[in-house]
């Protein structure tokens, strides 16, 4: 059996663990802080958010289908799907930074799996497998399992013979606290492990969507029951105002685009010679090049706490500078409050850094994660290999 070594575009726990609320009402951050374990946890789990890109560097549906998204505060955006006949229900993270679909399986005895719903192939009459194993590596943790095929249903769309991963081992805590069970990747098929056809590509191939595009709306004030909406095959005009800014995709693998510059309070500050950016719903924070992070943090008056996180005085949030991203000549601006998260009485800067260079040029590299995507309705047009952005309504 062939083993595959891939890098999955997975949410890194260091980006978002502090927002996960446990059944007794306390966040992971609060519990670890009370135990005196937060500093060591951050030391162990903090990783470059762009590590998931590391391996890239050396029946018919006549209209669009809507998938409501849930959110755990404002870090995870996930929705429901089913797999099998009869259907087994799961929650999956919709991730534009990866291409594979995987679910925990009954063969996995890891704590992370036992803490989630697990797919049982023995209970599905439409399941089969070719026995191909895989091993997934990402920023902090790992995942192993094998590939299978079954009937999936996402947003009311039925996809027959969908290839997906069944996890057998999910060591560590990376997925233990997550509200979602698995991940549904939405990037290009060239990124897919084991040459598995991604879910959206099967939708296109089988004529299950009216248009070869999908769009995502993330609520600025998400709740556990109303985090936003994902639309397969269409665009919802009620989710945005003004015109749509279109920009070509640079690499048919990730949703990679060019930026001409980044302004701070309207003044040129970063990306002065142009740079590239990944648009990634699977990254909670806004990720900036490491060499530019210091200037940004200094400008906003951020300071590092004993756990290595950057904070600002909560009284200053309303006066923090805006960030403007110049994309295809259009200025897309987010207010200072957009990159601050208030957690347990602290105001955490929702910005992290990466040391990686742009994948198609030796230049600066940004990740436009949920901090950016809450402010802009995003459209992923596979038919024209382009992306669209419009101000969220």
pLDDT of residue 174: 84
pLDDT of residue 358: 81
CB 186 within 8 A of CB 198: yes
Residue 10 half-sphere exposure toward CB, CA atoms < 13 A: 25
Predicted TM-score (pTM) above 0.75: yes
Dist. CA 81–CA 203, nearest whole Å: 14
Count of domains in the chain? 2
Tens digits of pLDDT across the chain (393 residues): 333 333 333 333 333 333 333 334 455 566 556 666 565 555 444 556 665 665 555 433 346 899 999 987 557 899 999 999 999 999 999 999 999 999 999 999 999 999 999 999 999 999 999 999 987 776 555 788 999 999 999 999 999 999 999 999 999 888 898 899 999 999 999 999 888 999 999 999 999 999 999 999 999 887 667 899 999 999 999 999 999 999 999 999 999 999 999 999 999 999 999 999 999 999 999 999 998 999 999 999 999 998 888 999 999 999 999 999 999 999 999 999 999 998 888 999 999 988 888 877 778 899 999 999 999 999 999 999 999 999 999
**Residues 283 and 385 placed together within one structural domain of the fold:** yes
Phi first, then psi: what are they for 305, rounded to 5°?
A: -90, -175
| Number of neighbours of residue 111 by Cβ within 10 angstroms | 14
**Residues 152 and 260 placed together within one structural domain of the fold:** no
280 counts as catalytic:
yes
**Residues 19 and 130 placed together within one structural domain of the fold:** yes
**Residues 200 and 262 placed together within one structural domain of the fold:** no
State the Cα torsion 177-138-254-67 to the nearest 10°.
-20
| Number of neighbours of residue 319 by Cβ within 10 angstroms | 10
Q: What is the CA radius of gyration of the chain?
A: 20
Q: Which residue is catalytic, options 95, 150, 181, 381?
A: 95
Domain boundary among 183, 218, 253: 218
35 falls within a domain: yes
**Residues 146 and 244 placed together within one structural domain of the fold:** no
pLDDT of residue 47: 54
95 counts as catalytic:
yes
Q: Which residue is catalytic, options 48, 150, 201, 280?
A: 280
Q: What's the pLDDT tens digit per position in 56-82?
A: 554 333 468 999 999 875 578 999 999
Residue 264 belongs to what domain range?
A: 237-392
**Residues 106 and 173 placed together within one structural domain of the fold:** yes
End-to-end CA distance of the chain: 50
Distance, CA of 144 to chain centre: 20
**Residues 197 and 247 placed together within one structural domain of the fold:** no
């Amino acid at each position: 059996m062939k083993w595959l070594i891939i890098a999955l575009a997975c949410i890194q726990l260091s980006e978002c663990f502090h927002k996960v609320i446990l059944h007794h009402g306390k966040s992971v951050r609060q519990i670890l802080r009370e135990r005196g374990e937060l500093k060591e946890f951050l030391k162990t789990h903090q990783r470059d958010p762009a590590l998931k890109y590391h391996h890239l560097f050396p029946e018919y549906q006549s209209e669009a289908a809507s998938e409501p998204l849930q959110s755990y505060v404002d870090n995870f955006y996930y929705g429901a799907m089913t797999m099998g006949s009869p259907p087994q229900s799961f929650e999956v993270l919709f991730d534009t930074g990866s291409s594979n679909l995987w679910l925990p399986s009954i063969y996995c005895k890891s704590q992370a799996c036992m803490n989630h719903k697990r797919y049982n192939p023995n209970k599905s009459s439409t399941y089969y497998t070719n026995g191909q194993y895989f091993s997934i590596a990402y920023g902090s943790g790992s995942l192993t399992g094998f590939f299978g095929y079954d009937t999936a249903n996402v947003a009311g769309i039925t996809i027959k013979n969908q290839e997906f991963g069944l996890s057998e081992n999910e060591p560590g805590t990376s997925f233990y606290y997550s509200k979602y069970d698995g991940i549904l990747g939405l990037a290009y098929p060239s990124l897919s492990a084991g040459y598995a056809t991604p879910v959206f590509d099967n939708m296109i191939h089988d004529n299950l969507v009216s248009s070869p595009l999908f769009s995502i709306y993330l609520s600025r004030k998400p709740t556990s029951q109303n985090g936003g909406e994902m639309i397969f095959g269409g665009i919802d005009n009620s989710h945005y105002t003004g015109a749509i800014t279109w920009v070509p995709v640079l690499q048919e693998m990730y949703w990679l685009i060019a930026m001409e510059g980044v302004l701070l309070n309207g003044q040129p500050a970063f990306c002065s010679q142009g740079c590239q950016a990944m648009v990634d719903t699977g990254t909670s924070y806004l990720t900036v090049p490491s060499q530019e992070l210091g200037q940004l943090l200094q400008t906003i008056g951020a300071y590092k706490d004993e756990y290595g996180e950057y904070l600002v005085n909560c009284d200053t949030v309303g006066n923090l500078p805006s960030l403007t991203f110049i994309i295809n000549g259009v200025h897309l601006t987010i207010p200072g409050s957009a990159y601050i998260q208030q957690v347990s009485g602290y105001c955490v800067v929702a910005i992290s850094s990466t040391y990686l260079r742009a994948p198609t040029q030796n230049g600066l590299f940004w990740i436009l994660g949920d901090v950016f995507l809450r402010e802009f309705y995003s459209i992923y047009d596979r038919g024209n290999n382009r992306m669209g952005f419009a101000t969220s309504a």
